[in-house]
Amino acid sequence: MYGSGKLSTNAKRQATGFLFVLPAFLIFLIFLIYPIGFTFYLSFTKWMGFKFSEIKFVGLTNFVNLFQDRIFWRALKNTIIYVGATTLFLNILGLSFALIIDSKVRGSRVCKVIYFLPVVMCPVVIGIMWSRLLDPFGFVNQLLGRVGLERLTHPWLGEAKYALFAVVLATVWQWMAYDMVIYYAGLQDIPVELHEVASLDGASYWQRLRYVTLPLLRPVTTVIVLLNLIGGIKVFDIIFVMTGGGPNYHSEVLSTYLYSQGFTYNFMGYASAIGVIIVLLSFATAYFRLRVSYEAV
């Protein structure tokens, strides 16, 4: 008697739990999972995006064309350079400044607040700001002219060599403090005693950094690097605003190429094939990043 009564309340509770999850799960399925599936399907078709009856199955044609598309390779290469460069600089600067702020030197609290300002700004605004700063008549060239380095002035965003680098600069300027506060929080979790013991054993600051701080920060590093990588792979707004992928596709990335193929030219199948590449790149990155870190632990 008692047992069956308990079972039924338990079953009822489980049903309630399922009902609680249901709305979120349905929204998730309809607006994320179903579209991803549809992107994979469309990547095997040719379609201008109007009537469903006009969807034509073309097999692997889109991918074959993609791999022969010079601009696609350039976009992929630029994405990888952008992701690599931003992740590298964000982590070096983020960790360095987290360590400086953690030393509690005078002014570090104020600086933490100041550095975080760009993080709350809109990337579109940052892009517009930096495209003026780096304009031929903008702040950077003005500054170079004032200190007598006129020969170093460039139309930064208009030159193939510098366009992607300029976008990396703006991105790092915006997000440095994001990495910094996460590293800083990670540093607070390291027990002070460990540093004291290491100091008593005669370890220098750099030795403590190398053998105590960095190894203990590894889980934090894993998360930040992953966030930077994933954020970089899907970058769109700042590049769209600053260079539009130019000049001559020298700062084109996968998302901007997807946008122009899909929504300027209506090549929905081709754009979906690019979408598939972006999804695969994100998941592969997450998978390898997490696997590498688990193996290291």
Partner 1 sequence: MLGENRDIKAGILVFILILYSVITLLPIIWVISLSLRSEREVFKVFLFPSSLHPENYIRALKEFRLLTLFKNSIIFTVGSVIPTLFFGALAAYAFAKIRFPFSNLIFFIILLGIMIPTGGVLVPLFVFMRNIGLYNSYPSLMLPYIAFGLPLAIFILRAFFVTLPTELIEAARIDGCTELGIFLRIMLPISRSALIAVAILVSITNWNEFLLALVFLGKESLQTLPVGIAAFCGQYVAPWQIIAAGVILATIPAFLGYVALQNQFIKGMAAGALKR
Residues 230-249 that bind partner 1 (CB under 8 A): 230, 233-234, 236-237, 240-241
- Shortest distance in whole angstroms from residue 287 CB to partner 1: 9
Q: Is residue 107 involved in binding partner 1 (CB under 8 A)?
A: yes
Give Cα separations from 223 to 91, 167, 226, 242, 261 (angstroms): 11, 23, 5, 28, 33
Exactly one of 133, 164, 166, 217 binds partner 1 (CB under 8 A); that residue is: 133
Element of type H or E holding 36: helix 34-42
Site for partner 1 in 189-208 (CB under 8 A): none
Closer to partner 1 by Cβ: residue 23 or 148:
23
- Shortest distance in whole angstroms from residue 70 CB to partner 1: 20
Three-class DSSP category at 3:
helix
Q: Which residues contact 243 (CB under 8 A, 6 or more apart)?
A: 131, 157, 163, 166, 167, 251
- Shortest distance in whole angstroms from residue 26 CB to partner 1: 9
State the CB neighbour count (10 A cutoff) for residue 22: 10
Q: Is residue 120 involved in binding partner 1 (CB under 8 A)?
A: yes
Q: Which residues contact 106 (CB under 8 A, 6 or more apart)?
A: none
Closer to partner 1 by Cβ: residue 23 or 59:
23
What is the total count of residues that contact partner 1 (CB under 8 A)? 91
Closer to partner 1 by Cβ: residue 180 or 212:
180
Exactly one of 105, 147, 192, 200 binds partner 1 (CB under 8 A); that residue is: 105
Site for partner 1 in 18-77 (CB under 8 A): 18, 20-21, 23-25, 27-28, 30-32, 34-36, 38-39, 42, 49, 52
By CB under 8 A, which span of 62-70, 148-156, 207-215, 265-273 interacts with partner 1?
A: 265-273
Q: Is residue 128 involved in binding partner 1 (CB under 8 A)?
A: yes
Element of type H or E holding 80: helix 70-102
210's tokens? 């190398």
Cis status of the peptide bond prior to 247, with omega within 30 of 0: yes
- Shortest distance in whole angstroms from residue 19 CB to partner 1: 8
Give Cα separations from 210 to 180, 183, 213 (angstroms): 18, 15, 6
Distance CA 154, CA 166 (A): 11
Site for partner 1 in 141-170 (CB under 8 A): 142-143, 146
Exactly one of 48, 124, 149, 214 binds partner 1 (CB under 8 A); that residue is: 124
